[in-house]
Structure 1
Amino acid sequence: MNKVQLIQALKDATDLSKSQAAAVVDIFFNGMADELAIKKLPFFKAGQGIEKDG
């Protein structure tokens, strides 16, 4: 399912207009993307080894 199909399915399942359904889909996916970008990943510099604790 692509974005256009998702918007159409949301429009069909609710009383939302096409533009309102598109806004909901955009808000949802932008929120997910923002949260995933915030997640901190380990950072390693080239040439550094990984040290084990203990």
Structure 2
Amino acid sequence: MAEIMHYPQLQGLRRWMLMTVDAHSLYEQFGFSPLTKPDRTMEISNPNIYIRSTNQ
């Protein structure tokens, strides 16, 4: 994570976001915190996007 956070082309980003199931304490060490306004966050999720169709 430290390598990514210090990558030159990523400096100056306004916002960093990530998702984790159980590594909250790890990412808190790098300055991440829960969303301040989660009611403003939305997503489109397609969990099977990388599964090949057998009908092709």
Q: Which has the higher contact order (CA 8 A, sep 6+)?
A: 2
The TM-score with structure 2 as length reference comes to 0.29
The TM-score with structure 1 as length reference comes to 0.29
Higher normalized helix content (fraction of residues): 1
Q: Which has the higher Rg, Structure 1 or Structure 2?
A: 1
